Structure 1
Amino acid sequence: MSTLLLLLLPLLLLTPIPSLSLNQEGLYLLDAKRSLDDPSNSLSDWNSRDATPCSWHGVTCTAGAVTAITLNGADLYGPFPEILCRLDNLTRVELAFNSINSTLPSLLSCSSLSYLDVSQNLLTGLLPSSLSSLPSLTHLDLSSNNFSGPIPPSFGQFPALQNLSLTANLLNETIPPFLGNISTLRQLNLSYNTFAPGPVPAELGNLSSLEILWLTGCNLVGHIPDSLGDLSNLQNLDLSINSLTGSIPQSLTRLSSVIQIELYTNSLSGVIPSGFSSISTLLRIDASMNLLEGSIPDDIFEIEHLESLHLYQNRLTGGIPATVSKCDKLVELRLFGNRLTGSLPPDFGRNSSLMFLDLSDNLLSGTIPAGVCDRGMLVDLLLIDNQFTGGLPEGLGKCRTLNRLRLANNQLGSAVPDGLWGLPHLWLLELTGNSFTGSISPQISGAANLSKLLISNNQFSGSIPPEIGMVSNLYEFSAENNRLTGPLPAALGDLSQLGRLSLSNNSLSGNLLRGIKSWTKLSELTLTDNEFTGGIPPELGDLPVLNYLDLSGNSLTGEIPLQLQNLKLNHFNLSNNQLSGPLPPLYATEAYRDSFLGNPGLCSDLSDLCPSSHDHSSDHHVVLWLLRSVFIIAALVLIIGVAWFYWRYRNFKKAKLGMDKSKWILTSFHKLGFSEYEIMDCLDEDNVIGSGASGKVYKAVLSSGEAVAVKKLWGPSNKNAENYDKASDDAFEAEVTTLGKIRHKNIVKLWCTCTHKDCKLLVYEYMPNGSLGDLLHSSKKGLLDWQMRYKIALDAAEGLSYLHHDCVPPIVHRDVKSNNILLDEEFRARVADFGVAKAVEAIGKGPKSMSVIAGSCGYIAPEYAYTLRVNEKSDIYSFGVVILELVTGKPPVDPEFGEKDLVKWVCSTLDQKGFDHVVDPILDFCFKDEICRVLNIGILCTSSLPINRPSMRRVVKMLLEVCPDDKTKPEKKDGKLPPYLEDTSEHSSIV
C-alpha cells in the first residue's frame, strides 16, 4: 500500500485543485454568482481556476483587493447577493438595469461602501432604514424599483450622502421635512412616486450644497416655499407635473447658479416676477400649462444666456416685449395658447439663433418679421390661429433649415415666395385659411421632404404644376376651396406615398387620372365640385386602402365601373354627375341611394334594378329560418352538455386538486403572504369571475382577507392537443416574461405562478371594479363620469408608455382593448393580459413580423391586419380605439355602425353631423372642451397611416395637457383642437 501511495503522490501533486487556487474574495463572488440567475452568461468568465477575481467581468481591484462590482444591464435575476458585504474593501456596487428582486437587505456589514446603484430593478418592500448607518455612503440610487411605504426618518441622518435618488417607486405618505437635515446633499431626486398630497418642505432650503432638486410628479400641493431661493448652488429646479398653487415666488430670482427652472403643469397663478435677468447662468425656463396672468416681464429676454422659454397654455396678456429682439442666444420660444396681443418687433429673429418659434392660438397681429430666419437656423415656425396680415417675408423662401411652417387661420395674403415651395427640408407646409394668391410654383420639385401640403381655403389660382410629381414623399395634398384650374397633371399619379388628395371646390377640368397604380397608400380621394369630365377610371377599384371616395358635383359620364365593388368604403359619393347605366350590384341597395342622386341616366328606383329580387328575398328568408332552427337545436344540445359537464367537473375537481397539491410548483415575484394551498382551495366554479380566449379567472379570498385573481390557462384539448398546448405555453411564457420583470403602478401586478403538468395558474392583484369594457358597455356605465374616464385614459396611457419607452427591449402588448384595462377600488386603471405580448428586438430594425394576427376585432390596426408587421404603433392604434370608447360610450364594433367600426363611425359622424352626435350623451357637457381634446387625441392615435400616430410618450404628454380638472380655463371656439395638440411632432421627427 505504501508503495502504491509513493507512486501516486507525484500524480496527485500535478493535479490542480480548483477550490484551492482562488482566493477568499473570489470564493465570495462565486457564491454571489450561484445565488443569481444569469441567462445571458454575463458572468461566464468568473472562473474558479483563476488565482484572483481581478480580471473577471465587472470586477475592479485595487492593490489586489476587490473594490468595485459594476454589472449594470447584465440581465441578472434573483435577490441582492448580501455576501458581497464580506468583501472588506468594497466601495462601489453598480447593479442597475437588472432583475434584482425581493427586498434590499440592511447592508450594515458593507461598512466601506460609498457608491450604491441598484436602480431599474424589481426590489420591493420598505426602504432599509439602516442605510444611513453606512459612514462612507455618498451615492445612493434606488430609483425605478417597487419600494413602498414612507421614507424612513433615519434618512435624515446620512453623514456624508451627496446624491439621493428614489425616483419612480411606490413611496407614499408625504415628502418628509427631515431630508433638509442632510447638509452634504448635492442631488435630491424623488420624482414620480405615489406620495400623499403634501407641500414642498420649506426645510429643503437648508441644503446649501444642493445642485439638483427634482420633484416632478410628487403630488405636491400648496405654495412654492420662499426658502428655495436660498439654494445658492442649485442648478436644476424641477417642480413640474404637480398641483402647486399660488404665485412664482420672487425669491427664485436669487438662485444665482440655476441653469434650468421647470414649473410646468401646475396651477400656479399671478404674474411672472421680474428679476430673472440677474441670473447669469440661467438657460431654460418652463412655466407652461399653469394659470399665470399679466404680461411677460420685459427683463425676461434680458437674461444673458437665455436659450429656451416655454410659457404656453397660460392666461398671459399684453404684447411680446421688444427686448426679445436682443436675446441673441434664444433658440426656442413657445408662447402658444395665451391671450397675447400686438405685433412682433420688426427686427425679431435677426440677432438670435432662433430654431423653434410657436406663437399659435393668441391674438397677435401685424406682419411676420422679415428677418425671422436671417440667422439661417429656423426649424419650426408656427403662428396658427392669430391675426397676422400682409405677405410672407421673402427671406422665408431662402430658409433652407425650415422643417415646419404652419400659418393656418390668419389674415395673410399676396403670393407665396417661389423659393418657399421648394425648401429641401420642409415636410409640413400649412397655409390653410388665409387669402394667399398666385399659383403653386414649379420650384416645388425641390421639396424632397414635403409630406403635407395644406393650402385649402385661400385664393390660389392657375394649374397644378407637373413638377409636383417629383415630391416623392408627399402624403397629403389638400387644396380645396381655391381657384385652381386646368387638368390634373399625369405626374401626380406617380406619388407612391400619397394618402390623401382633397381638391374639392376648384375649377379643375379634364379627365380623371389613369395609370394610378402607384397610389397604394391612398385612403381618401375628394374631387367634388370641379369640372371633371369623361369616365371614372376602373383602376380606382384596385387601390388597396381607399376608403373615402367623393367625385360628386362634376360632369363625369359613362357607367360606374364594376371594379369599385372591390373597395371597402366609409364614404362614397358620385352624386350630381352625368353617369348612366346600371348600378354595380353591391351598390344597388337602399344604403347607397344618396351616393348616386342627381345622375338622370342611372336607375333611380332601386327595387327595379333586379326584377327577381322578391324571389331571392323569399328564398333568403327560408334559408334564414332553417339556419335559425339549426342554431336553436345546437344551443339546446350545448346547454344540456355544459350542465352535465359542470356536474361531473365539480365532483371531480376538488378531489384531483387535493391529490395533486404537493406536486404544485410556486414561483413568486413579490413577497407573498399566502401559499399555493390557499389558491387551490379557491378554484371553484362559484368563484369564477370571467372567462376569455386564454383561460378562466377566479376570485380567491385568502385567509388574511385579501383577495387575488387567479387565471387558469386552458389546457390542451383532445382535438388538437399539441397545438393548443403550445398556444397555452406561449401565453403563459409571455405573461410571466412580461409581468414577472416589470413594475409600474398602471400595469397589473403578477404575484406568482403555480404550475403542475398541464395546468398553469397566474395569480394577480385583484381588481374589484373589473374591466373597463364590462363597465363602460353595461348599465353601470353611469358610474364613469368624464373626469373618471379621463383619468382612466391617462393611467392606461402611462402604463403603455412604460412598456414602449422604459422597458429594455420595448414591449408591444398586441391586445390593447377596454376589456384588458382593469379598474381597482378607486377606478385607477391597470393594463392587463399580456398573453400575446412581444418584445421588440432592437430599435431601428423595423417592426417584427408575426405568424398570426393577435388582437381583438375593432382594435386591430389596419396595417397589422394585412402585413402582420407589429410594432408600438399597433398598440397606439388600439389605445386610440379605447379613447374613442371612453368618449362615445360605444363598443369598437356594433350593429349600429353597419359595415364600419367605431373609428370609421366617429370620423364619418363628425364630418356629417358634428361633435355633439359623437359624444356619450350621459357626459356632462360642461367638460366639452376637454372631451373634444381627448377625442382628437383618439383620432390621432387611430390614423390609418402608422407614421401619423404619436408615440405613447407623446400621448401621455397630450393627455396631461388637457387638464380636465381645471374648469377655469377658457373653452376653445367651436371645440377646435388647439395647435399644441395638432402639433404632434414636437418631440419626434415626423408624426
Structure 2
Amino acid sequence: MLVFFLFLLLSLSSHPLSLSLNQDGLFLLQAKRQLSDPDNSLSSWNSSDHTPCQWRGVTCNSLTAAVTAVNLTSLGLSGNFPAAFCRLPSLSSLSLPDNLINSTLPAAITTCRSLHYLDLSDNALVGPIPDYLAELPTLRHLDLSSNNLSGGIPASLAALPKLETLVLVYNLLSGIIPSSLSNISTLKHLQLAYNPFHPGPIPSQLGNLTNLETIWLTQCNLVGPIPDSLGNLARLTNIDLSQNNLTGTIPKSFTRLRRVIQVELYQNSLSGELPSGMSNMTSLKFFDASMNELTGKLPNELCELPLASLNLYENQLGGSLPFSIARSSNLFELKLFKNKLVGELPSDLGSNSPLLHLDVSTNGFSGEIPANLCRRGEFEELILMFNSFSGGIPESLGNCKSITRVRLKNNNLSGSVPERFWGLPRVHLLELSDNSLSGHISNAISGAYNLSSLLLSNNKFSGSIPEEIGLLNGLVEFTAGNNNLSGQIPGSLVNLNQLGNLDLSYNQLSGELFGGIRHLTKLTGLNLANNSFYGGIPSELGSLPLLNSLDLSGNSFSGEIPPQLQNLKLSELNLSYNRLSGDVPSLFANDKYRMSFIGNPGLCGYFSGPCRGSGKGKNWSYVKYIFVLAGVLFIVGMVWFCMKYMKVRKLKKGFSTSRWRSFHKLGFSEFEVAKLLSEDNVIGTGASGKVYKVVLSNGEVVAAKKLWGANANNVVGNVVGSGKDDFDAEVETLGRIRHKNIVKLWCCCNSGDHRLLVYEYMPNGSLADMLKGGKKSLLDWPTRYKIAIDAAEGLSYLHHDCVPPIVHRDVKSNNILLDEEFVAKVSDFGVAKIVNRASQGTEPMSAIAGSYGYIAPEYAYTLRVNEKSDIYSFGVVILELVTGRPPIGPEYGENDLVKWVSFALEQGGLDHVIDPMLDSKYREEISKVLSVGLHCTNPLPITRPTMRSVVKMLQEVTTVTKCRNVKDWKVPYTHEGTSYNNIKEA
C-alpha cells in the first residue's frame, strides 16, 4: 500500500498540468462567457485541455506556455468588450476586428499593461474614446476604425509614449483634429479619414512628427490652407488630404518630400500653379490634384519623375502638354480632362511607358492621335472627346487588342477607320460620333464580340450596314444617324436581343422595315427618321414591351397606322411626313399627338374630319342620328348637373380649380378623381398619406395619393413645415420628368389643408410586395434582372439627366412599382431633394430621410445629401432581388441584409446567398449582378459607382468590381461610366 501511494504521488508530481487547465486558459474561458458566439466559433475553447495554446486564435510563448496574442477576426462574436482578456499577464496583441462588440471601452482595459497591439476595428463600439487609453504604456498600434465612436479625439492620447499607428477611420468623431497629436513623437501612421469633424484646419504642429510615414485625412471637413510645415516630414511616403474644403496653393515645401510615393489632394478648392521644384520628389509615383481650381501650365519637371499615375482633371490648367512627358518610363495613367490645355500630344506618348489609360477630354488639344499609344500592347482606354484632334485614326491602333474603351467624340478626325480597328476583340464602347470620318462600316466588326455601344452619328460613313453586325450579341446601343449609309437594314439585326437603342436617322437607307423586329424585346428607342423606307409600318412594332420612343418621320411609309401601336407606352411618337392613310387610332386621336401625324394628307378622323366612303343620303342619316342623340344627352346632362351641382360646389371648397396643376394632357377631370377618394378604394397607407385606386368613367385607372396634414407641407425635399412655394416649385420640377422608368405624375392639387398627387396606376404593385407575397414565383431571374436595369435607368436619369439633378433619398423596393409587363418605375418622391451643385451635391439636412435597411451609413450621422446615398439604397434593392430576402428582419439579429450577405458569402459561398427559387442556370449572371450590389453598398461613399456606371455594369454584366476594405489606402472612383481603381502601394 505504501509503495502504491508513493507511485501515485510521483505520477501526479511529474504531470502537474494533466488534471486541470492553467490560469491563462481559465481567463480565456471567462472571456468566452462574456461573449455571444452564435456560430460556435470558439468551440475549441474548452476545459479538457491543460493549456489554451492549441485553441483557435490563441498564440502562446513556446517556453512558458503563457498566452501572448489573441486573434478572433471575423468570427461573428458580439456583446460587451471582455475585460477578462486584460487579466492575461503576458498578452501583447489583441485583435477582435470585424465582429459585433457593441459596448463602450471599459476602464478595465487599462489593466492590459503589456499590450503592444490593439485592433478593435469593424465592430459597433459606441461612446467616446476614453482618456484612460493613455494608461497603456507599451501600446504601439491602436486601430478603432469602422465603429460608432463619437466625441472628440482626446488630448490624452498624446501621453502614449510608444504609439506608432493611430487608426480612427470611419467613426462619428466630432470636434477638430487636436494639435496635441503632434506630441506623439513616435507616430508613423495617422489615419483619421471619414469622420464628421467640425470645420477646422490641419494643425501645423503635425509637421513636428518627423517619424510620420502616412497621413490619411480624407473627408475630415478640413478648411484653410495646407500648412507649409508638412514639408518637414522627411519620411512621409503617403499623404491623402482629398475631399475636404482646403484652399490656397499647394505648398512649395511639398517638393522637399523626397520619399513620398503618393499625394492625393483631389476634390478641394486649391488654386494657383503646381509648385516649382517637383523634380525633387524623386519617389513620386501617384499624384492626384483633380477637381480643384489649379491654373498655369504643366511643368516639364513633372516628366522627370517616376510617375505611374498623374491625375489633374477638372482644373483650369492651360498651355500645352510637355513633350518630355513621353519620356516617363512608369506612366500607366494620364488624366487631364476638363482643363484648358492646348497644342499636340507628344508623338511618342506610350513608347517608353506601360500606358493603360489616357483621358484628355474637354480641352483644346489638336494635331494627330499619337501612333505609339499601344506600343507595349497593354493600352486599354483612349478618351479624347471634345478636342480638335485631326487626321485619321492610326493604323497601329488596329493591332491593339487590349483596348476596352474608345471615345473620340467631337473632334475633327477624317479618313477611313482602319479595317482591324473595327474588330478589336475586347472593346465594349466604340464612340466615333461628331467627326468627319468616312468609308464603310467594315464587316470585320464581327470580331468585336464584346461590343455593347457602337456610336457613329454625325460622320460621313457610306455604304451598307454589314450583315455581320448581327453577330454582336451584346450590343445594347447602335447609333449611326446623320451619315450617308444606304441600302437596306440587314435582317441579321433581329438577332440583337440586347439592343436597347437604334438610331439610323438622316441617312439614305431604303426598303421595307426588316421582318422579325418583334424579337428586339429590349428596344426602348427606334429612330429611322428621314430615310427612304417604304411599305407598311409593321404591326409587330406594337409587341415591343419596352419601346418608349418611335420616330419614323420623313420616309415613304404607306397604308394605315397599325392599331397595335396603341399597346405601346410611348413618351415620343413621330410618324409625320409619310404617305399614311386611314383613321388615326383612337388612343392617338387627341391634341397631344397632333404634331405626330402632320404631312400625311391621307390620314383622316380626329385631325382631318371623317374618312370618305359614303353617299349624301347616308351622311344625312348619320347627321339626324347625331342630332337626336345630342338632344337626349342634353336633357340627361341637365338633370345630372342639377343633382350634382351642390356636391361639386362643396368639393370645390376643398379642391379649387385654380389650385390644380396638370403635367400631361389629361383625359379625365381632376374633380372626378377627388370625388372617388373613398375608403373602399384605399390600396395602401404609408408615413406620408393614403394611396387610392381610382377607376375613372372613361375606364382609365390612376393612383391618387392624399397626403397627411404634416406631410402636406413636405412633399418634395423639405422638412416639415416648409412653405407652399417650395411645394409648387419642386413638384413642378418633378412634373416635367419624362422617363419610361419613372412613374408619371399626371397632376396635383395644392389648396390649404388638402394636397393630392395623381400618378399613373401600376397593376403589379411594388417590388417589395412581389418579393414577399405569393406572386414571388412570377419573378424569375430574367424578370428580376430587367427590374434592376429599369430601376437603375430611372435613377440614372434623376442623377445625370435632370437639371438640376435630383436625389430621391428613399430608394427602396416599396418605391419601385411594376406595370402589367413588369416594367419597373421609380416612384414616391416625397422626400426627394434637388441637388445644389454649388455645394458639391452634399447639402446638410435637418432630419434623416429614408427607410431602415436602406439608409447609407454616412447619411445617418452626417445628414449630407448626395447621389451616393441613393446608390447605397439601390444596392440594397439589388441584394433583395438576388437573395429574395427583406432588408431587415429578426433573422439578421442586430444586422441587416447587407451585413448578412457579406457574412453568408464568407461562410457558405454564393449558393448560400442566392434565392433558392432562382434557376441555377443563371448562376454566373446572378453572381455578377450581386457584385454590382455589393459595390453599391460599400460603406465608403467615394468607392460607390455613379448610377450611370451602375446601369452600364448591369447592362454588360461583365464588369465585376471588388469592394475594398475601409482600411485600404486607395479607393476606386468613377468617370464617364467606368470605374477606375487607383493602385495601392504595397
* Fold similarity call, TM over 0.5: yes
1:720 aligned partner: none
- The C-alpha deviation readout for 1:546-605, integer Å capped at 9, x for no partner, is 211111111112222233232222212222111223333433444333322222232243
2:365 aligned partner: 364
Q: 1:80 to 1:806 in 2, by over 3 A?
A: farther
SS of equivalent residue, structure 2 residue 843: helix
Offset, 1:385: 0.6
Give the Cα separation in 2 of the matches to 1:28 and 1:836. 35
2:576 aligned partner: 575
Q: 1:805 to 1:263 in 2, by over 3 A?
A: farther
Work out whether 1:59 is the aligned partner of 2:129: no
1:897 aligned partner: none
Identify which range, 788-797 or 112-121, moves more after superposition.
788-797
Offset, 1:154: 1.2
1:878-917 equivalences under 5 Å are: none
- The C-alpha deviation readout for 1:256-288, integer Å capped at 9, x for no partner, is 211111111111111111222233322111111
1:326-337 equivalences under 5 Å are: 326-337=327-338
The letter of the residue matching 1:256 is R
1:791 aligned partner: 843
1:106-255 equivalences under 5 Å are: 106=107, 107-255=109-257
TM-score normalised by structure 1 residue count: 0.67
Work out whether 1:49 is the aligned partner of 2:85: no
- The C-alpha deviation readout for 1:439-473, integer Å capped at 9, x for no partner, is 10111010011111111011111110111111221
Give the Cα separation in 1 of the matches to 2:485 and 2:57. 69
- The C-alpha deviation readout for 1:465-498, integer Å capped at 9, x for no partner, is 1111112211111001111000001111111221
2:299 to 284, 297, 300: 297
Offset, 1:521: 1.5
Give the Cα separation in 2 of the matches to 1:514 and 1:807. 38
Work out whether 1:281 is the aligned partner of 2:283: yes
The letter of the residue matching 1:349 is G
Gaps of 5+ in 1: 1-12, 643-686, 692-698, 700-722, 729-745, 749-770, 821-832, 853-866, 879-935, 955-978
Offset, 1:241: 1.0
Give the Cα separation in 2 of the matches to 1:138 and 1:498. 58
Cα contact 1:170–1:193 (8 A) shared by 2 = yes
Q: 1:353 to 1:940 in 2, by over 3 A?
A: closer
1:515 aligned partner: 516
Q: 1:813 to 1:319 in 2, by over 3 A?
A: farther
Q: 1:340 to 1:618 in 2, by over 3 A?
A: farther
Give the Cα separation in 1 of the matches to 2:610 and 2:896. 50
The letter of the residue matching 1:35 is Q
Cα contact 2:932–2:953 (8 A) shared by 1 = no
1:258 to 260, 279, 284: 260
Offset, 1:945: 6.6
1:36-115 equivalences under 5 Å are: 36-63=35-62, 64-106=65-107, 107-115=109-117
1:421 aligned partner: 422
Cα contact 1:803–1:812 (8 A) shared by 2 = no
1:473-512 equivalences under 5 Å are: 473-512=474-513
Q: 1:811 to 1:52 in 2, by over 3 A?
A: farther
Q: 1:579 to 1:774 in 2, by over 3 A?
A: closer
Offset, 1:233: 1.2
Give the Cα separation in 1 of the matches to 2:76 and 2:585. 61
1:547 aligned partner: 548
Give the Cα separation in 2 of the matches to 1:944 and 1:211. 37
Q: 1:102 to 1:801 in 2, by over 3 A?
A: farther
- The C-alpha deviation readout for 1:391-418, integer Å capped at 9, x for no partner, is 1111111111111111111111111111
SS of equivalent residue, structure 1 residue 313: coil
Q: What do you get for the CA RMSD once the two structures are aligned?
A: 4.9
Cα contact 1:191–1:218 (8 A) shared by 2 = yes
The letter of the residue matching 1:85 is C
Q: 1:184 to 1:273 in 2, by over 3 A?
A: same
Work out whether 1:271 is the aligned partner of 2:273: yes
Identify which range, 564-573 or 292-301, moves more after superposition.
564-573
Q: 1:165 to 1:804 in 2, by over 3 A?
A: farther
1:982 to 968, 976, 982: 976
SS of equivalent residue, structure 2 residue 201: coil
Q: 1:812 to 1:851 in 2, by over 3 A?
A: closer
The letter of the residue matching 1:274 is S
The letter of the residue matching 2:432 is L
Identify which range, 42-51 or 598-607, moves more after superposition.
598-607
Give the Cα separation in 2 of the matches to 1:636 and 1:450. 53
1:766 aligned partner: none
The letter of the residue matching 1:243 is N
Q: 1:810 to 1:747 in 2, by over 3 A?
A: farther
Give the Cα separation in 1 of the matches to 2:488 and 2:303. 52
TM-score normalised by structure 2 residue count: 0.67
Offset, 1:50: 2.7
Cα contact 2:883–2:914 (8 A) shared by 1 = no
Q: 1:417 to 1:635 in 2, by over 3 A?
A: closer
Q: 1:74 to 1:789 in 2, by over 3 A?
A: same
SS of equivalent residue, structure 2 residue 599: coil
**Paired-residue identity, %:** 47
Q: 1:119 to 1:234 in 2, by over 3 A?
A: same
- The C-alpha deviation readout for 1:30-53, integer Å capped at 9, x for no partner, is 222222222222223322333332
Q: 1:807 to 1:114 in 2, by over 3 A?
A: farther
Offset, 1:83: 1.2
2:31 aligned partner: 32
The letter of the residue matching 2:294 is L
Give the Cα separation in 1 of the matches to 2:406 and 2:92. 55
Offset, 1:382: 0.7
The letter of the residue matching 2:223 is V
Cα contact 2:482–2:507 (8 A) shared by 1 = yes
Give the Cα separation in 1 of the matches to 2:309 and 2:953. 35
Identify which range, 28-37 or 796-805, moves more after superposition.
796-805
Give the Cα separation in 2 of the matches to 1:181 and 1:805. 43
Q: 1:296 to 1:838 in 2, by over 3 A?
A: closer
Offset, 1:635: 4.7
Q: 1:172 to 1:807 in 2, by over 3 A?
A: farther
Cα contact 1:876–1:941 (8 A) shared by 2 = no
Q: 1:432 to 1:877 in 2, by over 3 A?
A: farther
1:378-397 equivalences under 5 Å are: 378-397=379-398
Give the Cα separation in 1 of the matches to 2:961 and 2:394. 37
1:348 aligned partner: 349
SS of equivalent residue, structure 1 residue 318: strand
- The C-alpha deviation readout for 1:931-977, integer Å capped at 9, x for no partner, is xxxxx9777778897559999999xxxxxxxxxxxxxxxxxxxxxxx
Cα contact 2:880–2:886 (8 A) shared by 1 = no
- The C-alpha deviation readout for 1:864-894, integer Å capped at 9, x for no partner, is xxx9x9969799999xxxxxxxxxxxxxxxx
1:660-679 equivalences under 5 Å are: none
